[in-house]
Amino acid sequence: MRPSEAYVRLFEPPKMAGHFTGKHVVTVEQFTREDMIEVFRTAADFRDRVRHGDRTLLNAAAGRVMATLFYEASTRTDMSFQAAMHRLGGAVVSTSGGVRFSSVYKGENLADTIRAVGCYADVVVLRHPDVGSSYEAAYYLDQLGEQLGRSPVVISGGDGVGEHPTQALLDLFTIVDCKGRADRLTITMVGDLLNGRTVHSLSKLIAQYGAQEVDFCFVSPFSLRMPSYIVDFLHERGYRVMQTGDLYEVLNRSDVIYWTRVQQERFAKPEDYEAIRDDFVMTPEVLGQAKSDAILMHPLPRKNEMGTPRDHDILDADSRAVYFKQMANGMFVRMALLAKVLGAAV
Ligand code: ASP
């Protein structure tokens, strides 16, 4: 789903266009190719410096505060953002015990909660179940900023079935890192393409990057097909898109295989989830039919769509499986983004 017109009227996201400082991050559409290259260059530099124990990074966000506001569960996004801020020398605040123990529990709306958090932090990482919630947050933070005399920014950590922009940045960074390019690739996304926000953002980001000669293959149960607005976005930019329910039509020519979880929490009826949860299961046998230099990605967490725990072990040992690398890259990409929106000298 796209954010409703009402949200977009509240806040129209500006392009970064080389100027990240003080800008909210709510959609991948804000990033130009040059912006992505700059974020990836910075992330790779930070990765190097962290590996070498470079302590000067601790000056980057010293004295700055990041808040995490998560209305939905998270391990990687939440913790990698927190770790990123710590590694840049900044501080992190969140409500003790998560939003369940904040005034959200008393019925406070997002507009009021985000303004409270904006009073205390320079940057707020928000995950919320409503599509477009980060646009709403951006609007209220801008209003608040006028009173505060400084501009707290929001970074979306995922808005329901909408987008997950920072995940897409780390995903594309990982593709370029592992394949050495974003061009001349067949990129196959598999699973719950309807509700999975990561595949929405990643598809759009690759198109924004202007990757050449990329074919998109979307493999899913019929009821969980990629939303048409994403397919239209790709077509409008000249990309070939194939949609199918048969993985084997595309598996052996895929360079990037992006597997996803069926988003159980988005199903109104448990029986609808049960009916399709095992339609696409990645196992060592399935991976055995992929190209020897393909990469297997997954935003994680994984469940039955990656087989049994024994399958996990075999898949994890396959050099094509890059999802742990992807997960590790998350922190460096988020460090890069934080440093940029905070205007840190690095
Ligand atoms: N962690 C990813 C997300 O928050 C993917 C998932 O939950 O399946 O969207």
Model confidence at 58, pLDDT cuts 50, 70, 90, reads: very high
Give the domain ranges of the chain. Answer: 3-163+330-341, 165-327
Mean pLDDT of the chain: 96
Annotated active-site residue 77? The verdict is yes
Which residue's CA lies nearest to atom 2 of ligand 1? 299
Nearest ligand 1 atom to alpha carbon 164:
9
Position 173 pLDDT exceeds 80: yes
Distance 52 CA to ligand 1 centre (A): 31
Protein fold of 3-163+330-341: Rossmann fold (3.40.50)
Position 101 pLDDT exceeds 80: no
Nearest to 342 by CA among 53, 90, 14: 90
Distance 37 CA to ligand 1 centre (A): 24
Nearest ligand 1 atom to alpha carbon 263:
8
Give the CA angle between residues 136, 330, 75 to the nearest 5°. 70
- Average the pLDDT over 152-181 and give the result: 98
Distance 144 CA to ligand 1 centre (A): 30
The pLDDT value given to residue 8: 82
Model confidence at 100, pLDDT cuts 50, 70, 90, reads: confident
What percent of the chain lies above the pLDDT cut of 70?
Answer: 100
Catalytic residue among 76, 200, 225, 277: 76
Annotated active-site residue 49? The verdict is no
For 184-201, the pLDDT digits (tens) are 999 999 999 999 999 999
Annotated active-site residue 150? The verdict is no
Identity (one letter) of the amino acid at 262? V
The pLDDT value given to residue 226: 98
Distance 145 CA to ligand 1 centre (A): 31
- Average the pLDDT over 122-151 and give the result: 96
The pLDDT value given to residue 320: 98
Q: Residues lining ligand 1, CB < 6 A?
A: 158, 164, 197-198, 261, 299
Do 165-327 and 3-163+330-341 fall under one CATH topology?
Answer: yes
Model confidence at 2, pLDDT cuts 50, 70, 90, reads: confident
Catalytic residue among 51, 55, 100, 106: 106
- Average the pLDDT over 103-115 and give the result: 92
The pLDDT value given to residue 305: 97
The pLDDT value given to residue 87: 98
Q: Where are the alpha helices (DSSP H) in the chain?
A: 5-10, 33-51, 76-87, 110-120, 133-148, 165-179, 197-209, 228-236, 270-276, 284-287, 309-317, 323-341
Position 97 pLDDT exceeds 80: no
Answer whether 0.85 is exceeded by the pTM: yes
For 284-337, the pLDDT digits (tens) are 999 999 999 999 999 999 999 999 999 999 999 999 999 999 999 999 999 999
Catalytic residue among 27, 77, 113, 174: 77
Q: Which CATH superfamily, name and number, covers 165-327?
A: Aspartate/ornithine carbamoyltransferase (3.40.50.1370)
Helix (H, G, I), strand (E, B) or coil at 109: coil
